[in-house]
Structure 1
Amino acid sequence: MQDFRGLDLGAGSGGSPGGGGNRWRMRELAQNEHFDWAIFRRALRAFIPYWPYTIIVTIVILAASFGGVLPAWLTQKIIDDGIARRSMSLIVEYTLALILISIATGLLGVLQTWLSNLIAQNVMADYRISLFRHLQRQTVGFFASRQAGDLVSRVTNDVTAIQSVVTTTLVGFVSNLLNIAATLFLMFSMNWRLAILAVIVVPGFVIPTQRVGKSRQKLQGQIQQWLSKMTVQLSESLGVSGALLIRIFNRQGAEEKEFDDSNRTLRDLQVRQALVGRWLFMWLNMFSSIGPALLWMYGGWLVLQGEIGLGTIVAFTALLSRLYGPLSQLAQLHVSILSSVALFRRIFGIMDVEPEVKDGTRTIADNSVQGRIRLSKVSFSYHPAAQDAEPDAGRGRPEGGDAAEPPVARWALRNIDLAIEPGETVALVGPSGAGKTTLLNLIPRFSDPAEGALEVDGMDTRTLTLHALRAQMGLVPQDPFFFHDTVANNLQLAKETATRAEMEAACRAAQIHDTIAALPEGYDTVVGERGYRLSGGERQRLAIARVLLQGPKIVLLDEATSALDTVIERKIQDALAVLLEGRTALVIAHRLSTILKADKIVVMEKGRIAAIGTHAELVESDPLYKQLYETQFHIEDGLRQQG
């Protein structure tokens, strides 16, 4: 096995896709120099559900193969039996048969094309949904360690490329094999000596193909990786956030150069792939001309000796094209099959990544818990992400050498013991990196603890189905996400059956209804990518309304700090008061008012709980909390004075 590290593809600066900036480094997946039967057998299993179509296609191909050789036999009959004997009736009879067989063969070809494409589209659809379903089962950490553009490329570009594997490679293999078998059968039944002469040159079609197949396999893998890299850049630079970042730092020129370098490299690779094997195919064409020449020389001598008729040699000449043509295509199909392995390797590379969080089996009704949460000796570590076999195509990553140290696992939480009673509001405070967000993410099982247990109403969360667990709680993140859709549809993510009246009630409680009503189309207004048409405070209140519409017993809140305007802050606080009332709440607190209203405050430091108590207790007993409180007090006091 070879390891291809750092490709020099002759584009950009020194062949690197990022040019002089070296923003991105392509590393090729190490590929076996031999055909990978394990991957190919696994790929073929996708055709099992469509075996009836496969049988029908095979029968159609078999019929078309025999239909394809019959015109040569009929031609021989027209010459030797009809013309030589001056029998017009035989000529008409064989000619009509020739026409009918040609029509039937053409119709069979249409049927074969329809069936093979039907199989291909079904297999592609199965792979797409399997990949998408598998990605939906992954944890948030999985997506944090990969780029969305690369995953999109695998679901779209790689799966789409499978169509040629089905319609051209597999069907072509069966078709050419049966064509060769039918042609050889007819040749040997007509004249075994001429048949042997025709197949003498066959080794010349087969021997040179292996080297070409390996080259095309490597190039196919590189092309798919560069397509993935370009998809990553497009998804990042054409999104609202990326476009804003590029413009604020005047990076349009650099982005254009990087895309141009990648585009040129991809162009060069595809040209190289098209040219690989051209010498081979010239060799094949040469041998396809030598065969007929030998046939006419030896066959002409047999005709002069009176051993065969002229129609036989004419028929053999016609059959040679049906022998050498499929042989030539089989040689190319061998190359295509090798190239297809790279596609399946990329697809299986994602499908083989096991989800870190396993679904439980126990189910409970939505919003049926009281809201009691208990963490017992919980520890969590961030470990190196389990990558698939192929390195991700990244942007802006440093060029790591071969001797680089592997990432070392680190503890984000250690021995957390925490009990939250139904209806309590518990605030998490602490310096950046203390583990607050990590702890919050464990509650809905975005990740699982490495040690210890987490219970909701006495039930171990790992025993519950993920749907049942997450239906009990609502999350308001610090930077709420909204799809490029209407306000109403974004709200209905929380409750699909919500009526317009229910949505309006939730938005009134969240202090956002008047803002939505003033939009051009009200609740039918499209909010833009990530809700970009709304301000930070409006997005946060809309996220609160969405959770209110859901009506969970447990609320997880990463309280945002983006809305610092006094009026907006008051609206957010009023909305939060409605949201938290009567619910169990775990809040990463940034605002002083939230800290003061909490039933219990948990002070975190370096992944551990440093102290637990009320505000009054902690100000007196915990130096870290006192420092955090005084710092926050001075910040908010200054902001109020500015307001």
Structure 2
Amino acid sequence: MQDFRGLGLGAGSGGGPGGGGNRWRMRELAQNEHFDWAIFRRALRAFVPYWPYTIIVTIVILAASFGGVVPAWLTQRIIDDGIQKHSMSIIVEYTLALILISIATGLLGVLQTWLSNLIAQNVMADYRIALFRHLQRQTVGFFASRQAGDLVSRVTNDVTAIQSVVTTTLVGFVSNLLNIAATLFLMFSMNWRLAILAVIVVPGFVIPTQRVGKSRQKLQGHIQNYLSKMTVQLSESLGVSGALLIRIFNRQGAEEQEFAESNRTLRDLQVRQALIGRWLFMWLNMFSSIGPALLWMYGGWLVVQNEIGLGVIVAFTALLSRLYGPLSQLAQLHVSILSSVALFRRIYGIMDVVPEVQDGPLTIPDNSVAGRIRLDGISFSYLPDKPEHHQEAQAQGNAGKERPASSAGAETRRAKPPIQSAPTEVRWALQDIDLAIEPGETVALVGPSGAGKTTLLNLIPRFSDPANGRVYLDGMDTQTLTLHALRAQMGLVPQDPFFFHDTVASNLRLAKDTATAAEMEAACRAAQIHDTIMALPEGYETVVGERGYRLSGGERQRLAIARVLLQGPKIVLLDEATSALDTVIERKIQDALAVLLEGRTALVIAHRLSTILKADKIVVMEKGRIGAIGTHAELVERNPLYKELYETQFHIEGELHQQVPESS
């Protein structure tokens, strides 16, 4: 497995963009206008794993550099020793050498291009996989505070944008430097006076680059922000849920207008960036013309004085293109490197976000626990300044590690108000939770909205970690287990099950990638969904659509239950949401749940009376605390909140059930 430490993508502080105003605005972080050597050195560490290729390509560049100046020397010999002295043998000899050198140099150029692109593509692939792998380690809360389109933009647009910079950083710099060195060596060896004249205009190539680089650096950050915004809008508007919402409220025209405005802004920024570069290139081209003019004037005078041969001037004229060309490219390289700093900051701004939940050191076999769960003094809070937005702003400021540096964060489409850093009162979602669940028990969580039921459920598989207290699984602190080992012991059926745009079989195999057709069928039969699947056009090979959109709500829930049955965990976490379904479908789901929960430890956020009545014990939650624990009969008698919930929701539901004929 590739070791990505060489990329310099270590963990540090983290976070993301804040925003304010309308949904296309954001709080842009200040950018340093100086070149940040710390970030650049960190980026160069990406080449460490490929040092053998780097050595080879350097040797090839060195050979190609000297091969590139030899034709000028051969041209001088052909003119001075061959043509002017009427020696046909010299002309033929040096002409053949000129042809062979040109062929060899061309082949070396092909080899150099292949090697440099091989290095660059490997480095880009490493960045992408390292960034994706780091994102996979983040908590659910990390993604809840971000837009998927912005993250996609960083993995794709930002990494792709630095590809040319990565290539020129190594190969372009070395190639141009060696070309200049070889050219100057031959020039001074041929005639030192003409060589000095040729380099007089060199300062004209260097002076304007610093200011141009700063301007392009600013614009590059803005361009990437708008690319990110457009990616966000496309991912939201072209997804099935977003497309449906837009059409429900007749927002097609507004969406088109917003996309057009962003597109126009991006177009204008890119035009501005191109014009800034053209002013520099005009300056460089002007000095590229002055040099040969001075050379012909002074060199012609030396020829008239019989101090040099005509071939020397012709050779010098050819060498000037090999001197000024690399100088121009070095100047452009400097500009490109300056403009890339914002890109590297954006990438490192994500890579430096420390995952809130860290792996523990211990591992245990899958499905090896008895299923005993204990929550000891659990408290959990959502701090207003805690989300990873705020961390990423710090991470971008410290992306270079050695010197603080800030960067433009990604603009978010539906931006929220800026996150304030001033201390605010802690909002506790859970406080002082003590709860014991024995193996095989079904425990129902009930309470009003916002009572902390989902937060408590999410602490079991460590989607988040509590601020205080510990969660124990069979007596083991869950924070001492690897996340893989912990989550392999439990299955989750969420309130809104998610399915990838893939086949039914592929979505089932997410729970068990080695599942056979017979195993999948058995799980689906138990979940009351097999007949429905077989009625689909291609059975288990039918594509379910984005988020399972081709399936009904009840079918998605039963398929999610089948997926957990296929996994076969000892612990089931269930956010039961059947209240919006008709009675027939609900009964099918309840039958599937009966199979799922049998013999397993279950923690269920209960929405239905049937779940309440079948639970071994019921936990009543209110304002982040446990108000009471007991059976249905006990809580109706002694807990006012539970009695109110029962009478308003569950009791009415029970009466409705009694009115439905059994045959339905």
Q: TM-score range by the shorter chain?
A: over 0.9
Q: 1:307: which partner in 2?
A: 307
Q: 1:377: which partner in 2?
A: 377
Given the two structures, how large is their TM-score scaled by the length of structure 2? 0.92
Matched, 1:607 2:609: no
User: Following the alignment from structure 1 to structure 2, what is the Cα–Cα distance between the partners of residues 339 and 194?
Assistant: 36
**Equivalent position SS for 1:276:** helix
Find 1:386's aligned residue among 371, 385, 388: 388
**Equivalent position SS for 1:542:** helix
Q: 1:252: which partner in 2?
A: 252
Q: 2:604: which partner in 1?
A: 587
| Counterpart residue identity of residue 611, structure 2 | T
Equivalent pair of 1:563/1:569 in contact (CA under 8 Å): no
Alignment of 1:449-460 (within 5 A): 449-460=466-477
Equivalent pair of 1:24/1:398 in contact (CA under 8 Å): no
- Give 1:563 deviation, angstroms: 4.1
Aligned residues: 625
Matched, 1:561 2:563: no
| Counterpart residue identity of residue 581, structure 1 | E
- Give 1:285 deviation, angstroms: 1.1
Q: 1:225: which partner in 2?
A: 225
When residues 278 and 87 of structure 1 are mapped into structure 2, their CA distance, relative to the original with a 3 A threshold, is: same
User: Following the alignment from structure 1 to structure 2, what is the Cα–Cα distance between the partners of residues 408 and 238?
Assistant: 39
Q: Deviations over 1:428-472 (max 9, x none)?
A: 000100000000000000011111111000000011111111111
Equivalent pair of 1:481/1:530 in contact (CA under 8 Å): yes
When residues 150 and 398 of structure 1 are mapped into structure 2, their CA distance, relative to the original with a 3 A threshold, is: closer
User: Following the alignment from structure 1 to structure 2, what is the Cα–Cα distance between the partners of residues 106 and 464?
Assistant: 58
- Give 1:173 deviation, angstroms: 1.4
- Give 1:405 deviation, angstroms: 5.8
Higher relative contact order (CA 8 A, sep 6+): 2
User: Following the alignment from structure 1 to structure 2, what is the Cα–Cα distance between the partners of residues 356 and 31?
Assistant: 27
- Give 1:554 deviation, angstroms: 0.5
Q: 1:62: which partner in 2?
A: 62
When residues 403 and 594 of structure 1 are mapped into structure 2, their CA distance, relative to the original with a 3 A threshold, is: closer
Q: 1:500: which partner in 2?
A: 517
Q: 1:13: which partner in 2?
A: none
| Counterpart residue identity of residue 242, structure 1 | G
Q: Deviations over 1:342-398 (max 9, x none)?
A: 221111111100100010111111111111000000111112212213534222335
**Equivalent position SS for 1:503:** helix
Equivalent pair of 1:537/1:563 in contact (CA under 8 Å): no
Equivalent pair of 2:224/2:410 in contact (CA under 8 Å): no
Equivalent pair of 1:600/1:612 in contact (CA under 8 Å): yes
Q: 2:444: which partner in 1?
A: 427
- Give 1:639 deviation, angstroms: 4.8
User: Following the alignment from structure 2 to structure 1, what is the Cα–Cα distance between the partners of residues 330 and 165?
Assistant: 13
Matched, 1:436 2:453: yes
- Give 1:62 deviation, angstroms: 0.8
The unaligned stretches of length 5 or more in structure 1 are 1-5, 7-15
**Equivalent position SS for 1:277:** helix
User: Following the alignment from structure 2 to structure 1, what is the Cα–Cα distance between the partners of residues 78 and 415?
Assistant: 72
- Give 1:144 deviation, angstroms: 0.4
Q: 2:358: which partner in 1?
A: 358
| Counterpart residue identity of residue 492, structure 1 | R
| Counterpart residue identity of residue 511, structure 2 | A
- Give 1:318 deviation, angstroms: 1.1
Equivalent pair of 2:346/2:409 in contact (CA under 8 Å): no
- Give 1:411 deviation, angstroms: 1.1
When residues 398 and 147 of structure 1 are mapped into structure 2, their CA distance, relative to the original with a 3 A threshold, is: closer
| Counterpart residue identity of residue 297, structure 2 | M
- Give 1:160 deviation, angstroms: 1.5
When residues 80 and 112 of structure 1 are mapped into structure 2, their CA distance, relative to the original with a 3 A threshold, is: same
Q: 2:545: which partner in 1?
A: 528
- Give 1:84 deviation, angstroms: 1.6
Find 2:614's aligned residue among 587, 597, 602: 597
User: Following the alignment from structure 1 to structure 2, what is the Cα–Cα distance between the partners of residues 398 and 495?
Assistant: 39
Runs of 4+ in 1 over 4 A off after TM superposition: 402-408, 637-643
Matched, 1:576 2:565: no
Equivalent pair of 1:146/1:392 in contact (CA under 8 Å): no
When residues 614 and 406 of structure 1 are mapped into structure 2, their CA distance, relative to the original with a 3 A threshold, is: same
**Equivalent position SS for 1:278:** helix
Alignment of 1:390-401 (within 5 A): 390-398=408-416, 400=418
User: Following the alignment from structure 2 to structure 1, what is the Cα–Cα distance between the partners of residues 379 and 426?
Assistant: 13
- Give 1:314 deviation, angstroms: 1.1
Q: Deviations over 1:174-221 (max 9, x none)?
A: 111111101100000001111111111111110111000001111111
| Counterpart residue identity of residue 578, structure 2 | T
Given the two structures, how large is their TM-score scaled by the length of structure 1? 0.95
When residues 266 and 407 of structure 1 are mapped into structure 2, their CA distance, relative to the original with a 3 A threshold, is: farther
Equivalent pair of 1:475/1:555 in contact (CA under 8 Å): yes
- Give 1:128 deviation, angstroms: 0.8
User: Following the alignment from structure 2 to structure 1, what is the Cα–Cα distance between the partners of residues 468 and 315?
Assistant: 79
The unaligned stretches of length 5 or more in structure 2 are 1-16, 394-407
| Counterpart residue identity of residue 441, structure 1 | N
User: Following the alignment from structure 1 to structure 2, what is the Cα–Cα distance between the partners of residues 403 and 594?
Assistant: 42
Matched, 1:341 2:359: no
Q: 1:23: which partner in 2?
A: 23
Alignment of 1:293-332 (within 5 A): 293-332=293-332
User: Following the alignment from structure 2 to structure 1, what is the Cα–Cα distance between the partners of residues 499 and 656?
Assistant: 29
Q: Deviations over 1:50-95 (max 9, x none)?
A: 0111111111111111111111111111111111211110011111
- Give 1:22 deviation, angstroms: 2.9
Matched, 1:187 2:195: no
Equivalent pair of 2:225/2:409 in contact (CA under 8 Å): no
**Equivalent position SS for 2:544:** coil
User: Following the alignment from structure 1 to structure 2, what is the Cα–Cα distance between the partners of residues 331 and 448?
Assistant: 51
User: Following the alignment from structure 1 to structure 2, what is the Cα–Cα distance between the partners of residues 476 and 226?
Assistant: 37
When residues 86 and 392 of structure 1 are mapped into structure 2, their CA distance, relative to the original with a 3 A threshold, is: closer
Find 1:468's aligned residue among 456, 477, 485: 485
User: Following the alignment from structure 1 to structure 2, what is the Cα–Cα distance between the partners of residues 268 and 408?
Assistant: 44
**Equivalent position SS for 2:46:** helix
| Counterpart residue identity of residue 197, structure 1 | L
Find 1:548's aligned residue among 545, 565, 571: 565
Q: 1:288: which partner in 2?
A: 288
User: Following the alignment from structure 2 to structure 1, what is the Cα–Cα distance between the partners of residues 241 and 579?
Assistant: 16
Alignment of 1:141-290 (within 5 A): 141-290=141-290
User: Following the alignment from structure 2 to structure 1, what is the Cα–Cα distance between the partners of residues 578 and 335?
Assistant: 58
Equivalent pair of 1:116/1:166 in contact (CA under 8 Å): no
Please report the RMSD computed on the Cα atoms of aligned residues, expressed in angstroms. Answer: 1.8
When residues 168 and 392 of structure 1 are mapped into structure 2, their CA distance, relative to the original with a 3 A threshold, is: closer
Q: Deviations over 1:245-291 (max 9, x none)?
A: 11101111111111111111111111111111322221111111111
